[in-house]
Structure 1
Amino acid sequence: ADQVALIRKQLDAADWSDGRATVGSQGARVKRNRQLPEQSAVGRELARIVMAALAAHPTFFAAALPARTMPPLFNRYEGGEQYGVHIDGAVRNVAGNMAGTAPGADYQLRTDVSSTLFLSEPEDYDGGELVVHDTYGAHEVKLPAGDLILYPSSSRHEVTAVTRGCRVSAFFWTQSMIRDDQRRGMLYELDQAIHALRLRHGDSDETVVLAGHYHNLLRLWAET
């Protein structure tokens, strides 16, 4: 909570720019929001805070199985702003002077997993739901400040219009060691099941076998 309050305080005093500057022509037709410029000093410092929190969060690692994670960017919606249905670009160019990267080490990142970190409380704004579309329909997400959602970057998604208040969030992409969504999901469920069994029954020959299968599947499928 303290970290979220610190981030919000700095973001509320920051200078924002048109969010369409960071998308192609197709995205620009449906994107109406504001972002911190990628080279913003405030954005780089806040990105370091978020990256450090991610590195210390075992659930994020288990769900994303990250090979590389792009330093977060920050956006803001208010006054009817929204981002229509779109799919994130498959590859992002990451500048070497962004937070969390080695100076000068520009690289390209395949976007396997998209993440949104909510920085506004749900009661502080109307609208602004993240809607992820998949085979089973549309899934609306509006989480408390400090909570994060991961979803496949191949998903069609949108942010609905904010009609009251202000929605602030961080967003970023991860190139996973497991590029296939189904395989990554299977490994996450297996990891969580093993963890639950160990908490309930302690270590046993069976949990060792299951953990072995997890790591052997990871070894079989991982790209590093």
Structure 2
Amino acid sequence: MLVEIPALFSPAEAAEARALLAAAEWQDGRATAGHRAATVKQNLQLPLDHPLARQLGDRILDRLARTPRFVAATLPLRILPPRFNRYEGGGTYGNHVDSAIFPVPNTAQHVRSDVSATLFLSDPDDYDGGELVIEDSFGAHRVKLAAGHLITYPGSSLHRVTPVTRGTRFAAFFWTQSFVASELQRRELFALDGAIQSLTADHPDHPSIDTLTNVYHNLLRQWSST
């Protein structure tokens, strides 16, 4: 399930993040890639312990917690602190699947990568290439969003970033462990939640709202784990 979260950051907030990232010191992105992924990864990444990574990452996490569409789509149990990458001069990331489990820095916790997410920070007109290509049972989806927009997609999906041949592409990326591990079950809950929200907006006194809400929470109770 691919879900777009529009305007997680405003254009001004995205521009501020870009300016800070442009002035930062970067490292080879292969430093955090697995053995297989390192063979197809050609980008730069902000060091995980960089103060700017923590600063911007905290801002993203705070915004996510206050974004109902993200919460409904991912049902987050844990979110790995966001990371930041930079593509330019032909930088690319070939086909790969994200690791299933990530350690949380400086803790004993781990995050299962049920849902992957990319927050685009560069304006699409400022760079050529750099599409996030996500493959699923319906084919390949090419994603290149406006600055400040977020896309979530299954962590199990094969995906890649096409070469950036002009300009610079800045983005944040992270993984969410969901209360509901099954992508199919999350899809059904998201659709049911959307139907409840639409019915509530159009017919706030409809008696089916309580029934559907009860069904939603009973399914969530059956399917969730902590």
Letter in 2 for 1:67: L
Shift of 1:24: 1.4
Letter in 1 for 2:98: D
State the SS of the aligned residue for 2:181. coil
* Cα distance in 2 between the residues matched to 1:74 and 1:14: 11
Q: Does 1:219 align with 2:210?
A: no
Counterpart mapping for 1:22-41 below 5 A: 22-41=32-51
For these two proteins, the number of residue pairs brought into alignment is 216
**Cα root mean square deviation, aligned:** 0.8
Letter in 1 for 2:204: G
Shift of 1:170: 0.2
Letter in 1 for 2:176: T
Deviation readout 1:51-82 (Å, 9 max, x if unpaired): 11111101000000000001100000000000
Shift of 1:3: 2.1
* Cα distance in 2 between the residues matched to 1:186 and 1:148: 21
Aligned partner of 1:78 in structure 2 is 88
Aligned partner of 1:190 in structure 2 is 192
TM-score (ref. length: structure 1): 0.95
Shift of 1:205: 1.4
Q: Does 1:60 align with 2:70?
A: yes
* Cα distance in 2 between the residues matched to 1:188 and 1:107: 27
* Cα distance in 2 between the residues matched to 1:146 and 1:189: 24
Aligned partner of 2:207 in structure 1 is 205
State the SS of the aligned residue for 1:14. coil
* Cα distance in 2 between the residues matched to 1:157 and 1:213: 34
Counterpart mapping for 1:13-28 below 5 A: 13-28=23-38
Shift of 1:4: 1.6
* Cα distance in 2 between the residues matched to 1:57 and 1:41: 25
State the SS of the aligned residue for 1:158. strand
Deviation readout 1:70-101 (Å, 9 max, x if unpaired): 110000000000000000000001113xxxxx
- Runs of 4 or more consecutive aligned structure 1 residues displaced over 4 Å after TM superposition: none
The percentage of aligned residue pairs carrying the same residue is 51
* Cα distance in 1 between the residues matched to 2:128 and 2:14: 20
* Cα distance in 1 between the residues matched to 2:224 and 2:34: 31
Which blocks of at least 5 consecutive residues in structure 2 are unaligned?
Answer: 1-9
Instruction: Name the structure, 1 or 2, with higher relative contact order (CA <8 Å, separation 6+).
Output: 2
Which blocks of at least 5 consecutive residues in structure 1 are unaligned?
Answer: 97-104
Shift of 1:5: 2.2
Aligned partner of 1:137 in structure 2 is 139
